[in-house]
Amino acid sequence: MMRRSSLFALILGGSLFMGSLLAATPAHADGLAVASADLPAEAKKALVKDVTAFKAAHPEMFDAVRDIPGIRPEVYKTLRNPQPIATLDLKRLGATALLPMLAALALDTPTVMLNEKEKTAYVVGLLEASGALRDARGGPVFTAIFESKNKPVEVLRAAAEAMGKLCTDSELGSLKKHTAASDTLRLHAVRGLGECRRKESAEHLATLLGSATDAATADAVADALGAVASTWAWKALGPKADATAKAVQAIAAKALVPAFAKHKDARSAVKKALRLVESPDAADLITAARASADADAKVALDALAKQLAPKTP
């Protein structure tokens, strides 16, 4: 009897020890948006290390990311527009929420009950809030989500924009690759390039606009060029960015004006982009485009010139 009791105690003690060991070891299997196995091995290893250390020191931040109110039906259904939204709640948590947000996306799905609409809103919010922090640790996560399959369009758009905001050589290369004409991610990649404040992004978008054969593509690329060359966006970066800003805006204007003449159905988007760019060369570019334009385009270009002309006091 004593031997049997000792054996039972030994087994029970071993089970408890293994249970505590397993409980102390993070699973790091699948996130809300992508499986951790889809991350590059080195990026996954580094992220797991950072997340584990941060969680040991700040477990409350993981709870805060999980418990945001905007995706809970008892909260959002009382709003005038009763749709789940997570971005504002997550942005309010600040930079200390970065690792918990990346973990939720790619390592450990938070234990919260969500329907598909709420899950999509949560993932979009996680991408938008973490992408806004422009931290390089997010790059592999954003790219893995963008290049994975069967994602809602809202998630693909948010992942592409997060990649564009970060826009190291890695994200820039991936976005450019996915602008190929046959790529199903093309328009999302174009949108991502619109967030990338680099000359290389503007050059690639200008090439895409020059080769566009349909109004839908021209419309999307014009929007992206307007975003990447936006005067107010570059001013926010301060005087140190002035030289790059002028180069990007010149590239955008030289591509946009001919596209205005060529793509009648995209003129609204092109005009909006030119207003954002505020190029001092716009008048000369319009004059040059007018020389080879047809009668309809000449009328439209003349109207554009008046609309873009500097306002006199």
CATH code: domain of residue 151 = 1.25.10
Listed residues 196, 220, 235: the one ending a domain: 196
Q: Let me know whether 41 and 163 are in one domain.
A: yes
Model pLDDT, residue 312: 63
Mean pLDDT of successive 10-residue segments in the chain (313 residues)?
41 37 45 95 97 97 97 93 96 98 96 94 98 98 93 97 97 97 95 97 98 93 97 93 96 97 95 96 95 95 92 65
User: Is 193 within 8 Å of 205 (Cβ atoms)?
Assistant: yes
Would residue 83 count as lying in a domain?
Answer: yes
- SS3 at position 207: helix
User: What is the SS3 assignment for 114-163?
Assistant: CCHHHHHHHHHHHHHHHHCCCCHHHHHHHHHHHHCCCCCHHHHHHHHHHH
Last residue of some domain: 166, 181, 196? 196
pLDDT at 153: 96
Alpha-carbon gap, residue 35 to 141, rounded angstroms: 10
Report the pLDDT value the prediction gives residue 309, as an integer from 0 to 100.
86
Examine the fold and report which residue of 140, 165, 196 is the final residue of a domain before the chain moves on: 196
Which pLDDT does position 10 carry in this prediction? 36
Q: Report the distance separating Cα 229 and Cα 209, nearest Å.
A: 14
C-alpha–C-alpha distance, residues 300 and 167, integer Å:
36
Per DSSP, the three-state class of 256 is helix
User: For the purposes of burial, counting CB atoms within 10 Å of the CB of 254, is it exposed (0-12), middle (13-18) or buried (19 or more)?
Assistant: middle
Q: Residue 253 in contact with residue 274, Cβ under 8 Å?
A: yes
Q: Which residues span the domain enclosing 264? A: 198-313
Residue 280: its pLDDT value, please? 93
The pLDDT of residue 17: 34
Specify whether 263 is located in the same domain as 308: yes
Let me know if residue 163 belongs to a domain: yes
How far, CA to CA in Å, does 276 sit from each of 83, 146, 206? 31, 28, 16
Same structural domain for residues 185 and 303?
A: no
pLDDT value for 68: 97
Residue 77 covered by a domain: yes
Residues 186 and 38 in one domain: yes
What's the domain count of the chain? 2
166 lies in the same domain as 243: no
Does one domain contain both 191 and 251?
Answer: no
Do both 131 and 64 map to the same domain? yes
Residue 10 forms part of a structural domain: no
Residue 82: its pLDDT value, please? 94
76 and 210 inside one domain: no
Query: Within a domain: residue 254?
Result: yes
Instruction: Compute the distance between CA of residue 214 and CA of residue 262 in angstroms, rounded to an integer.
Output: 10
Residues 191 and 270 in one domain: no
Residue 15 lies in a domain: no
- Quick one: pLDDT at residue 247? 96
